[in-house]
Every structure is written in structure tokens, then in C-alpha cells.
Amino acid sequence: GAGVSQSPRYKVAKRGQDVALRCDPISGHVSLFWYQQALGQGPEFLTYFQNEAQLDKSGLPSDRFFAERPEGSVSTLKIQRTQQEDSAVYLCASSSDNYEQYFGPGTRLTVT
């Protein structure tokens, strides 16, 4: 079946612009996660949804980061007033049991 998909795959934003990154999880997966991966590093947890409820947003680096999953399926990660330090790959993962997490291909964000 289809895996996790993310769009866009690449995004270039000028500093100060707002961006929106989309994640389509595996159908039926209750849990959805966002991670940030800096170059050469492992992914770092950002936020977690169970259905439409955001149960943990402790990893969001600042209040410029906002995530939503209004209907318990597709999720959007929004970054306002982007800064150069926001440049990274943003990964989305979904899971049916919170243990085995399936990752999408990621969105590579470059802030210039």
C-alpha cells in the first residue's frame, strides 16, 4: 500500500517568509509525528498527534512553529517568519501503535 507522503519535497524560502509543509500519513494510522533532521544528525522529535489531538509539542523549537491535524489524517507543519537556523529536513512519521513508526521522504527546507 501507499506509504507516508510529504509535500513539497524541497522548499526554498527567504528569511522572514512563512512556510507550510504537508504530511499524508498511512491510511488508518492514528499516530502522527513530526521530526526535524539537521544535516549529518539524527532526527529530533518536534510534535505528536493522536488522531486530531496534539498530545505533545515539547520539541517545537519556538512559537514560530505550529502544527495541526484538524481531521485526524493530513497534518501541516507551519513555520512563521523563517530563520536560517530553520533550514533542515522535516520528517513526518505515522504509526498504528506508537512503536513501529513509518517515515515519509521528508521536506528539505532551505532558508536564504
Binding residues vs other proteins (CB under 8 A): 4, 31, 33, 35, 40-45, 48, 56, 59, 91, 93, 95, 98-106
In order, the DSSP letters of 25-92 are PPTT--EEEEEEE-TTS--EEEEEEETTEEEE-TT--STTEEEE-TTSS-EEEEESS--GGG-EEEEE
Min CB(63)–other proteins separation in Å: 20
* CB-nearer residue toward other proteins: 44 or 68: 44
Least separation, in Å, of the C-beta of 81 and other proteins? 27
Residue at 60: amino acid letter: L
Integer distance in angstroms from the first to the last C-alpha of the chain? 37
Nearer to other proteins, 6 or 82 (CB): 6
User: Cβ 41 to other proteins, closest distance in Å?
Assistant: 6
